[in-house]
């Protein structure tokens, strides 16, 4: 076994353990921390594939921003509800069974696939940049727009309602006008 495979198993097991911790941990803080373990090991897996840039992005976006955001929400919302438990036994069993079956189907299908084409490693940061800024430059700009809109949307949604005539009044005006026409 080459060292790559050993590292793959180490990180893969950490990722799986983190994922299982995410769905089973009783407290949400621990769930978020398990998610972090998974995200970091996925970053390590990107490195194993030779995709350093993706690994760095995974660290920045997921390991940094998403986790911290989740922790902030945890902090801002009601702590009693944060430890909200689990659905009923019937649902858990049904969902668990479905997921096991799904995994079995997927893995058998994958094992029979003819994709196993051996190790190819390239340092693709440069080719990634080339393709992002040439063929996919329009989607790239649009992605920026999507982020901006999402940001504004998030601000509008999370704003306190006691700041008048910014969020509340267009709705009420809308209601008024609707009433007039009717």
Partner 1 sequence: MTLGLNHFLILAAALFCIGIFGVLTSKSALRVVICVELILNAVNLNLAAFSAYVAPKEAVGASFVIFLMVVAAAEVGLALALIITLNRTSDISAIDSMSRMKG
Partner 2 sequence: MSLLSYAWLLPVIPLVVFAIVLATGRKLPEKVVYSLGIGAMAVVFAGSLVALWQTSHGLELNTSFKWLSFGANTFNFGMLVDPLTATMLIVVSFVSLLVQLYSIGYMHGDERIRWFYGAINLFSAAMLGVVLANNWLLMYMCWEVMGLASYLLIGFWYQNADAPPAAMKAFLVTRFGDVGFGLALALMYFNFHTFNFTSVFLMTEMGAVNPTVIAAIALLFFAGAMGKSAQFPLHVWLPDAMAGPTPGSALIHAATMVAAGVYLVARSFPLYEAVPWTLLVVGTIGTITAVMGALIALAQHDIKKVLAYSTISQLGYMFLALGTGSWVAAIFHLMTHAFFKALLFMAAGSVIHGSGTQDLHEMGGLAKKMPWTTATWVLGALSLAGIPPLAGFWSKDEILLSALHSGNYWFLGFGLFTALLTAFYMGRATFLAFFVKPGPDSKASHAHESPWVMTAPLATLAVLAVTAGLIGSPLAGYAFGNFMGEHEAAEPSYLLMAIAIGVAVAGISLAWGSYIKRFFEPDGYFKSWFVTGPLSHKFWIDEVYHHGVVRPVNAIAEGARTADSAVIDAIVRAFGWVGLKISALLAVFDRKGVDGAFDAFGDGVSETGNTVRKIQNGNVQTYLLFMVAAIVVLVAVFAR
Among residue numbers 76 through 115, which ones bind partner 1 (CB under 8 A)? 76-78, 81-87, 91-92, 95-96, 98-100, 102-103, 106-107, 110-111, 113, 115
The helix (H) or strand (E) run that includes residue 77 is: none
Least distance between partner 1 and beta carbon 180 (Å): 28
Our finding on whether 124 is near partner 1 (CB under 8 A) is yes
Our finding on whether 2 is near partner 1 (CB under 8 A) is yes
Residues between 108 and 127 with contacts to partner 2, criterion CB under 8 A? 109, 123, 125-126
Cβ atoms < 10 Å from Cβ of 115: 5
The site that binds partner 1 (CB under 8 A) totals a number of residues, namely 93
Nearer to partner 2, 24 or 94 (CB): 94
d(CA 87, CA 102): 20
Q: Which does 177 bind (CB under 5 to 8 A by kind): partner 2, partner 1, none?
A: partner 2
Is the CB of residue 16 less than 8 Å from the CB of residue 103? no
SS3 label, residue 90:
helix
SS3 label, residue 143:
helix
Among 40, 44, 58, 63, binds partner 1 (CB under 8 A): 58
- What is the SS3 string spanning 23-68? HHCCCHHHHHHHHHHHHHHHHHHHHHHCCHHHHHHHHHHHHHHHHH
Nearer to partner 1, 155 or 178 (CB): 155
Our finding on whether 137 is near partner 1 (CB under 8 A) is no
State the DSSP code for 113: S
Among 24, 83, 94, 130, binds partner 2 (CB under 8 A): 94
């Amino acid at each position: 076994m080459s060292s790559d495979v050993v590292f793959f198993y180490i990180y893969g097991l950490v990722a799986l353990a983190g994922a299982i911790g995410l769905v089973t941990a009783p407290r949400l803080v621990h769930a978020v921390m398990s998610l972090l373990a998974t995200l970091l090991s996925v970053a390590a897996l990107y490195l194993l594939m030779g995709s350093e840039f993706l690994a760095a992005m995974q660290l920045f976006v997921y390991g940094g921003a998403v986790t911290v955001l989740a922790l902030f929400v945890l902090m801002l919302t009601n702590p009693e509800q944060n430890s909200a438990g689990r659905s009923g036994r019937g649902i858990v069993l049904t969902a668990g069974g479905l997921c096991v079956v799904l995994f079995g189907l997927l893995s058998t299908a994958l094992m029979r696939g003819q994709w196993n084409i051996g190790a190819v490693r390239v340092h693709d940061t440069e080719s990634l940049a080339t393709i992002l800024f040439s063929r996919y430059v329009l989607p790239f700009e649009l992605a920026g727009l999507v982020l901006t809109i999402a940001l504004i949307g998030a601000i509008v949604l999370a704003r306190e309602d006691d700041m008048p005539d910014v969020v509340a009044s267009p709705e009420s005006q809308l209601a008024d006008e609707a009433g007039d026409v009717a």
